[in-house]
Structure 1
Amino acid sequence: MNEESEGLPARPLIGRTAVVTGGGRCVGAGVAGLLARAGARVALVGRSEDSLRAVARELPRDTEVIPADLSQPDAPAAVIDAAIRRLGKVNILVNNAGAENFTPSDQLTAQEADELWALNGRAPLLLGGKAAAHMASIGGGSIVNISSVVGSERSIRGQSLYAATKGAVDAITRSLAADWGGKGVRVNAVRPAVTRSDMSAAIFTNPDLKNALTAQYALGRLGEPEDIAQAVLFFASDASSYVTGQTLSVDGGWISALVH
């Protein structure tokens, strides 16, 4: 099917700009690549400049690289300011940067909790607020947060802190959507289950573990970065122009198929 002949743009993000945090690896790189192929000019954000530049080399030549440690208090605002200077505007923000923590709940320290919250919770909140204000000033935009199915839909032993931060991301999504919807800014979230990434490498390199997990998924496979990227593109584009404050589980049917 020719998309343009069916009234759908082949490159729906032409003329738009996108900031992708955690853009130097795995899901972030996959999201950045798809948004670029859809026509957006992209700014990649992450801690490792080398990793960001490696991804940027695979994208259009005007891709911007913004090294930053988003767990630092002033970094989110500085990143959005830098992106506006370099791109001229920010139409799309993808809050993908994050980390995991598997410390048992009775052994967690305040420092561990503060460190994970700073990256997984505080950063998307501050990035979202700063970006939304800018988007409102230019007529609107789209913010897409990467959450997790363990944030609000299913609990897994040993992930109490991680789940708490991702549950916060879902709440941030709804709250920012309410705050900024009247000014043309949409805010939605994508909830992956197990998806190929640095954090899940131990699963994908262990055939027995991978097969055991795959058996729990209705679609018979684990996630790939492209799966998440396609959902992000939907929320970033006008295809979802009447959707805000929503969370979409991209989990291969894990939630619906899981039986204990």
Structure 2
Amino acid sequence: MSIELFSLAGRRAVVTGGGRGLGKAIAAGLADAGATVAVVSRTSADVEAAADELGERVVPLALDVAGDDAAGLVDAMEAALGGAIDVVVHAAGVQHRQPAEEFAADAWDRVVRVNLTAPFRLSQEIGRRQLATERAGSHIFIGSLTSLLSIPDVAAYTATKSGVFGLIRTLSTEWSGRGIRVNGIGPGYFRTALTEAVFSDEERYRKMLDRIPMGRFGNPQELAGTAVFLASDASSYTTGQLLMVDGGWTAS
């Protein structure tokens, strides 16, 4: 197999939540494979720092992807990238931990808006433009262990990540015959700001570690190869899939 199948040279990519954590690692991988990448976050300092660190092919863009104006967001992304978008990775996400019987309504609404509604609206607008111009595309959603199984105290997160897997399947069914592939990555436990509450609890830390067949947690950089695969021609016949990168958790 030619290494050129994995090349993203000449392609334009957007990574939401790309200023830190898993999104930043994915953005680095796409840029290393040759793509021009817009890293998007509400926090200007995060995206500026990420762009400075990751190099000249990475463009910082401070935007709230949970805003209502999807067309305006995509216009800004295309302007920053200098053309139409080929790849979008939906890595922005929020978490709220609370027992189901106590789960606050405003927290539920926020998690659903950021984790499920926002990525759908963004892919919807990017997809419209790709379909209208017959431009091939790769849309990559970030799922979770909770796309497939349940974990206590994260009802909204579980609902959204289960919904993300549904979106992957539905958008793939509707779009893959017209040149747009839709897939997802399901990370296991990686130490990021989103999971810090779990990692700082020694009892939960040991319990989770014992559950992982590989015997360790993931490094954010270990998601980059999966993202490059799904964004590139190496996965040209792969669509509608959620690829778990979890150290074997969901297989055991």
* Range into which the TM-score falls when normalised by the shorter chain: over 0.9
Residue in structure 1 matching 2:121, options 123, 126, 136? 126
Paired letter, 2:141: N
Equivalence for 1:160:
155
Counterparts of 2:87 and 2:185, CA distance in 1? 14
Equivalence for 1:145:
141
Higher helix share: 2
The answer to whether the 8 Å contact 1:20/1:32 transfers is: yes
Counterparts of 1:228 and 1:91, CA distance in 2? 19
Paired letter, 1:160: A
Paired letter, 2:205: K
Counterparts of 2:71 and 2:91, CA distance in 1? 16
Cα distance 1:73–1:223, how it changes in 2: closer, same or farther (>3 A)? same
3-state secondary structure, aligned to 1:106: helix
Cα deviation, residue 156, structure 1: 1.0
Greater displacement, 51-60 / 30-39: 51-60
CA deviation vs aligned residue, 1:192-217 (integer Å, no higher than 9, x gap): 11112111224445565433321211
Cα distance 1:58–1:168, how it changes in 2: closer, same or farther (>3 A)? same
Equivalence for 2:8:
13
Give unmatched runs, 5+ long, in structure 2. none
Cα deviation, residue 72, structure 1: 2.2
Cα distance 1:10–1:58, how it changes in 2: closer, same or farther (>3 A)? farther
Counterparts of 1:80 and 1:110, CA distance in 2? 30
Counterparts of 1:201 and 1:82, CA distance in 2? 32
Residue in structure 2 matching 1:108, options 100, 103, 107? 103
Q: How many residues align?
A: 250
Counterparts of 2:45 and 2:200, CA distance in 1? 25
Residue in structure 2 matching 1:188, options 183, 189, 199? 183
Equivalence for 2:85:
90
CA deviation vs aligned residue, 1:155-192 (integer Å, no higher than 9, x gap): 11111111001111111111111221122000001111
3-state secondary structure, aligned to 1:175: helix
Cα distance 1:157–1:62, how it changes in 2: closer, same or farther (>3 A)? closer
Residue identity (%) = 35
Counterparts of 2:179 and 2:117, CA distance in 1? 23
Equivalence for 1:44:
39
Counterparts of 1:40 and 1:16, CA distance in 2? 5
Counterparts of 1:108 and 1:79, CA distance in 2? 31
TM-score, normalised via structure 2 length? 0.93
Give unmatched runs, 5+ long, in structure 1. 1-5
